[in-house]
Amino acid sequence: MSVEPTVASRLIFRGRAIALRVDEVRLPSGRAASREIVEHPGAAAVVPLTDDDHVVMVRQPRKALERELLEIPAGTLEPGEAPLVCAHRELAEETGLRADEMTPLLTFAPSPGILTEEITIFVARGLRADPGAAPEAEEEGLRVERVPLSAVPALINAGDIRDAKSLIGLLLLRWR
Amino acid sequence: MSVEPTVASRLIFRGRAIALRVDEVRLPSGRAASREIVEHPGAAAVVPLTDDDHVVMVRQPRKALERELLEIPAGTLEPGEAPLVCAHRELAEETGLRADEMTPLLTFAPSPGILTEEITIFVARGLRADPGAAPEAEEEGLRVERVPLSAVPALINAGDIRDAKSLIGLLLLRWR
């Protein structure tokens, strides 16, 4: 059931990563309103936990913010791809690691007012290096960093870890 | 300093809430790539904590997800508006409450791969009803709910609380 009935929908743009549409909707009051909606296929993210209590993270350039962020590995779902499969693939591509265990943590919406994207976060354990993986890292300017779990609070307070998926994954891991 | 030098930039759409541009950038490898970037002015969000350990939340329709979500009060910065001012305004408009204390918790990026938005989360204490506020609620289909802090973990596990700002605000509050 549609939460706000659609009166009209107009596709503005269809790109490589996202599409943009504008929906005209009817509010509970009967008044019309427009909703600018960014369509995204969804994503998977991974908190890779080593046996010696480190998180394997990726420092990467983020054009939208014009700065580098320290994030957990993540990536967009390919067409028809399950989040679990995507999680294993992105972990290998970005860090060169395989995981024996991949446990779902939760699924969240980064920005539900404008964005259809939902991200499923997993915790990966039983990590081992796979020499055949990690083809993307150098090309895209990614740098892998092993972060001690004990250093995470200071990195969050300093604003160095500041993206939603990394914050939620790391905070929830600590909570549970 | 630009993290990925811009070779060309094209504005696709400028709407009410967001704009969309496509940047052509140069990667560290020298190869060209395109970045689809959604521009957003930023936002403020508030965890309103009552003296008897409840969080005042808002249940609202989210067209992008075609479902209702239970979220903390939040809204977009007006031009030139400071996050603190926005936080007080949105709290009043969505819940009808004023806060004696509004303490910044952190600033985060909901989706740094595509979205320029950053959200500053505050904790509001010393809450009192303002009969003159809350003009928006009925028009937009918002319903205010007082949630016991002790019920938050179950609501997160059930996926009822699933947006980034609410998860980060509530998890960080518990962490600190």
CB contact under 8 A, A65 and B29: no
Secondary structure (3-state) at A72: coil
Whole-angstrom distance between the N-terminal and C-terminal Cα of chain B? 34
Q: Is B156 on the interface with A (CB under 8 A)?
A: yes
Confidence of residue B121 (pLDDT cuts 50, 70, 90): very high
Residue B20 contacts residue A16 (beta carbons within 8 Å): no
Q: Are B39 and B22 in contact (CB under 8 A)?
A: no
What is the separation of C-alpha A74 from the centre of its chain, rounded to a whole number of angstroms?
5
Residue B134 has pLDDT above 70, yes or no: no
* Interface contact flag, A108 B12, Cβ < 8 Å: no
- At residue A50, the 3 state secondary structure works out as coil
Tens of pLDDT, residue by residue over A91-108, are 999 999 999 999 999 999
Burial class (CB in 10 A: 0-12, 13-18, 19+), A46: buried
CB B45 within 8 A of CB B125: no
Domains of chain B, CATH where assigned: 6-39 (no CATH), 43-175 (3.90.79.10)
Which residue has better confidence, B133 or A74? A74
Check whether B31 has a pLDDT greater than 80: yes
ipTM, two decimals, is 0.95
Handedness of CA A135, A140, A145, A147 (dihedral sign): negative
pLDDT for the residue numbered B38: 98
Place of tokens 């590995």: A73
Residue A17 phi, psi (nearest 5): -100, -35
Which amino acid, residue A100?
D
What pLDDT, on the 0 to 100 scale, is given for residue A175? 76
Number of helices and strands in chain A (H, E): 4, 10
Share of chain B above pLDDT 90, in %: 87
CB contact under 8 A, A111 and B115: yes
Residue of B nearest to A176 (CA): B153
Q: Measured between CA atoms, how close is A104 to chain B, in angstroms?
A: 12
Residue B174 pLDDT level (bands cut at 50, 70, 90): confident
Position B139 scores a pLDDT of 61
For residue B112, give how far its alpha carbon lies from the nearest alpha carbon of chain A (Å).
6
Residues B57, B162: Cα–Cα separation, whole Å:
13
Confidence tier at B3 by pLDDT (50, 70, 90): confident
Task: For residue B138, name the pLDDT band (cuts at 50, 70, 90).
Answer: low
Please tell me which of the candidates B4, B13, B168 has its beta carbon nearest to residue A63.
B4
pLDDT in tens, A60-94: 999 999 999 999 999 999 999 999 999 999 999 99
**Enclosing H/E stretch for A108:** strand A97-108
Catalytic residue selected from B101, B138, B139, B145: B138
CB–CB contact B27 A140 (8 Å): yes
State mean pLDDT over B1-8.
Answer: 85
Position B2 pLDDT exceeds 90: no
Beta bridge partners of A121: A45, A106
Residue in chain B nearest A25 by alpha carbon: B63
- Residues 106-125 of chain A whose Cβ lies under 8 A from any Cβ of chain B: 106-118
Minimum CA–CA partner of A164 in chain B: B110
- pLDDT bucket at B130, cuts 50 / 70 / 90: confident
Q: Is B30's Cβ below 8 Å from some Cβ in A? A: no
The number of beta carbons lying within 10 Å of the beta carbon of residue A78 is: 11
| Alpha-carbon gap, residue A66 to B1, rounded angstroms | 7
Task: With a cut of 60, say whether residue B59 has pLDDT above it.
Answer: yes
Distance from CA of B27 to the nearest CA of A (A): 6
Tens of pLDDT along B35-52?
Answer: 999 999 999 999 999 999
**Hey, of B71, B115, B167, B170, which one would you mutate to test binding to chain A, going by the most A CBs within 10 A of its CB?**
B115
How many angstroms from the chain centroid is the CA of residue A88?
13
Q: What DSSP element (H or E) covers A157?
A: helix A152-157
Q: Provide the shortest C-alpha distance from residue B156 to chain A (in Å).
A: 8
Torsion angle (degrees, nearest 10) of CA A93, A95, A98, A103: -100
How much is the pTM?
0.95
Q: Which residue ranges of chain A lie beneath pLDDT 50? A: none
CB contact set of B154 (below 8 Å; sequence gap of 6+) = none
